[in-house]
Structure 1
Amino acid sequence: MPPLTDRRHAFRVVLGLLVPGLLLLVAGRPELILYAVFGSFAGMYGRLEAPRERLRHQFHGAGMLVTGVGLGTALSHGHVPAAGLVLAITAFATIGSLVTDRLRLRPGGPFFGIFALGATATVAPGLVSLWGALAICAGTAVWCMALGMSVGTTEDAHDEGLGTLPPGAVVHALRYALATAAAGLAGTALGLDHANWAMAAAAVPLAVVSAGEPVELAAVVHRAVHRVGGTLVGLMATALILLLEPSPTLLAAAVMVLLFPTELFMSRHYGVALGFFTPLIMLMTELAAPSEPVTMLVARGVDTVIGVAAGVAAAALVRGTRGITQEDRSRQWAV
């Protein structure tokens, strides 16, 4: 059983989604919960920090998420082709890597922003207006920040040189550029409907690499294996849920419920967390952009394999120069 601190944090994160999620259900718009989910990810930042430090990091995390949702929704409304989406996500991943390294965000890396941009860009433009999407995402993020301020912790705050790029940050950003571009191009070449999933998956193995440190391929491969294994288990769970043909309201409720175990296990066992996170992703995607379930599940599995392969390859090709400490490794607790 995860410790009490993890359970409290997971409860705070799920409460950040529960309130806006219920409001959407009352309004009769469960299909819009995708935008609230991305806003709720702001609550994942600053997990063990004091309220003031947590607010700062959640604000920065929220900025990345809202920006991702805004750009993705704008791309959707602009009917940007697949090649344009690959270019946009690659640029966002590269810049996002530099920004998150400079801000010392934990969870580290631009994964959540990449995910938000790609997912919202593939939603039909008629689902919600740009301002509506931004309002739901930003409103949820603000609510999560308010919750974050309400709970203290005994952990000391760490500045870690905020405001300066750590050594090797540019090289690390190049890893993200290489991995996401390769995954996106491969997915597009194969004719996959959700090449953005491959690009998001490509960022996952790189989250255990610290800027300026040499790559530990064993750790990168370990994270990649967890991503693939957890995703496959999650896809089987998704299939079972969809076989029951639940109503949109029940699907939205399932999304909210699944966020709790996802965050509860995220820092302890990434593979287990993915077993819950994957159906959460698939169900909110099905609500926002319904598709043939088997096709969607197969595409998700293939995209995951392509993405983590690209991430591992980028980590192997672009190496660092210094050793990483166990303290640094322990801070890479999520993504």
Structure 2
Amino acid sequence: MKAVTEMFTMGPGNKDHHPALRCAVGVFVPLITLTLMGRLDLAVFASFGAFTGIYGRNEPHSVRFRSQLRAGGLMLLVILLATVTARVAGALGIDGMAYSWLLTAATTLVAGLCSVVVAAWRLRPGGSLFHIFAFAAIASIPSQPSLWEAMLVSVLTTGFCLLVGMSSRVVKSHRTPWKRPPPIRHTAPERRAMWLEGGGYLVAAGLAGTIATLVGERLGFGHTYWAMVAAVVPLVGHSTRHRVSRGIQRIAGTVVGLVLLAGILWLNPAPWAMVLVIAVCQFGAEMFIARQYMVAQIFVTPLALVATLLAAPVDPGLLLRDRIVETVIGASVGVAVVVAPAVWRRVRGSSA
């Protein structure tokens, strides 16, 4: 009952509207600019560059700047590797299922390595969920824009988000002292925990990606990387019960979010209206992500799928189907990875 209650409990607020507004502005301005320029083929690069603003939400300005600069730099590297991977695979003639397996393997490595880097830099939010999403989504784009345009949009969006992150310094009452952030040092147990966490991300993402690819090959589902994203969600949490709860909340929030998205798509919004939807959903997601994960997912689901539709229009019905199937696969794998160590200890204890 305690686990069920936790799923419907709203945590206390902590001036969440401040980072939520920064994130919404950080994604809206680049996307509406691309819309007015008629370059929505570059929208996905702006969307992932805008993830820079998600980090350092309640930190002092100097620490936030360091966090966002590092997070933005890491995301730019992931974006570059993703688009280069797609180009190299195309040049070598790797496509179809061969490319699906290559993408799963490469995304799995990104999941593990980025998790370690994020933990080493003590970035918040932790984990490599955003990097998995960015790498796989960009590497999955069939028609890549020119490399210099893609990276220019990504860099400019990252820089804009850094400016937005520092914007509250113009208001004296919101300004924090500018002090050089203390260096980050790790104890031996912390370093061991970082690598163990990276291993967990590697296993969860790899297993989910493998299952999703096999199921997709047999039943015709796509977007297998959504399973990999959902699989790492339960890995964040302070207890096994809390982690399992996050996995269940991911599925429940996705279902409700898909209903909301279906209503939005039924209205057949213009591109500028879809950009507005993205900004509103980004605001809603950041308002609740630290307080109630299931509610946050109601906003995250249309946010992710509308951004996908902007980048590469596809059949909305197939998109909704793929989202729920891949989310169930991924979240189930993530919960299994979280529960497995506790089950193993219990089995060993009973046999001792």
What range describes the TM-score normalised by the shorter chain of this pair? 0.7 to 0.9
Give yes or no for contact 1:31–1:248 (8 Å, CA) kept in 2. Answer: no
In structure 2, list runs of 5 or more residues that go unmatched.
1-9, 343-352
> Residue in 1 aligned with 2:75?
65
Q: Does 1:108 align with 2:153?
A: no
Cα offsets for 1:192-222 (capped at 9, x unmatched):
311111111111111225xxxxxx2201111
Give yes or no for contact 1:42–1:58 (8 Å, CA) kept in 2. Answer: yes
Specify whether residues 172 and 10 from structure 1 end up closer, same or farther in structure 2 by C-alpha distance, changes over 3 A only: same
Deviation (angstroms), 1:60: 1.4
Give yes or no for contact 1:91–1:177 (8 Å, CA) kept in 2. Answer: yes
Find 1:124's aligned residue among 125, 132, 142. Answer: 142
Find 1:12's aligned residue among 14, 18, 22. Answer: 22
> Residue in 1 aligned with 2:117?
99
Q: Does 1:235 align with 2:258?
A: yes
Deviation (angstroms), 1:4: 7.0
Give yes or no for contact 1:235–1:279 (8 Å, CA) kept in 2. Answer: yes
Residues in 1 aligned to 2:258 and 2:182: alpha-carbon distance in whole angstroms: 39
Q: Does 1:26 align with 2:36?
A: yes
Specify whether residues 249 and 124 from structure 1 end up closer, same or farther in structure 2 by C-alpha distance, changes over 3 A only: farther
Residues in 1 aligned to 2:212 and 2:74: alpha-carbon distance in whole angstroms: 24
Deviation (angstroms), 1:89: 0.6
> Residue in 1 aligned with 2:287?
264
Find 1:35's aligned residue among 45, 50, 59. Answer: 45
In structure 1, list runs of 5 or more residues that go unmatched.
210-215, 320-335
Q: Does 1:296 align with 2:319?
A: yes
Q: Does 1:201 align with 2:230?
A: yes
Q: Which has the higher helix share?
A: 2
> Residue in 2 aligned with 1:85?
103
For 1:45-194, what aligned pairs fall within 5 Å after superposition?
45-77=55-87, 78-79=89-90, 80=94, 81-126=99-144, 128-151=145-168, 161-162=184-185, 166-191=191-216, 192-194=221-223
- Stretch moving more, 268-277 or 249-258: 249-258
Cα offsets for 1:291-335 (capped at 9, x unmatched):
11111111110111111111122222346xxxxxxxxxxxxxxxx
Specify whether residues 28 and 86 from structure 1 end up closer, same or farther in structure 2 by C-alpha distance, changes over 3 A only: same
Q: Does 1:316 align with 2:339?
A: yes
> Residue in 1 aligned with 2:5?
none
Q: TM-score, normalised by structure 1?
A: 0.87
- Stretch moving more, 231-240 or 64-73: 64-73
Query: How large is the Cα RMSD of the aligned pairs?
Result: 2.2
Residues in 2 aligned to 1:100 and 1:86: alpha-carbon distance in whole angstroms: 21
Give yes or no for contact 1:6–1:264 (8 Å, CA) kept in 2. Answer: yes
Q: TM-score, normalised by structure 2?
A: 0.83
Deviation (angstroms), 1:256: 2.1
Give yes or no for contact 2:35–2:271 (8 Å, CA) kept in 1. Answer: no
Cα offsets for 1:119-141 (capped at 9, x unmatched):
11111224x22222222122111
Q: Which has the larger radius of gyration?
A: 2
Give yes or no for contact 1:104–1:160 (8 Å, CA) kept in 2. Answer: no
Deviation (angstroms), 1:32: 2.8
Deviation (angstroms), 1:29: 2.0
Residues in 2 aligned to 1:317 and 1:3: alpha-carbon distance in whole angstroms: 33
* Structure 2 counterpart of 1:11, one-letter code: L
Give yes or no for contact 2:201–2:232 (8 Å, CA) kept in 1. Answer: yes
Specify whether residues 267 and 186 from structure 1 end up closer, same or farther in structure 2 by C-alpha distance, changes over 3 A only: same
Give yes or no for contact 1:175–1:318 (8 Å, CA) kept in 2. Answer: no
Give yes or no for contact 2:168–2:175 (8 Å, CA) kept in 1. Answer: no
Overall identity of the aligned pairs, in %: 36
Residues in 2 aligned to 1:202 and 1:160: alpha-carbon distance in whole angstroms: 32
Residues in 1 aligned to 2:13 and 2:235: alpha-carbon distance in whole angstroms: 27
Residues in 1 aligned to 2:83 and 2:276: alpha-carbon distance in whole angstroms: 24
Give yes or no for contact 1:184–1:196 (8 Å, CA) kept in 2. Answer: yes
Deviation (angstroms), 1:18: 2.2
* Structure 1 counterpart of 2:110, one-letter code: F
> Residue in 1 aligned with 2:300?
277
Matched residue SS, 1:190:
helix
- Stretch moving more, 69-78 or 12-21: 69-78
Number of equivalenced pairs:
312
Give yes or no for contact 2:28–2:275 (8 Å, CA) kept in 1. Answer: no
Residues in 2 aligned to 1:70 and 1:118: alpha-carbon distance in whole angstroms: 12
Give yes or no for contact 2:208–2:329 (8 Å, CA) kept in 1. Answer: yes
Residues in 1 aligned to 2:183 and 2:301: alpha-carbon distance in whole angstroms: 33
Residues in 2 aligned to 1:43 and 1:94: alpha-carbon distance in whole angstroms: 22
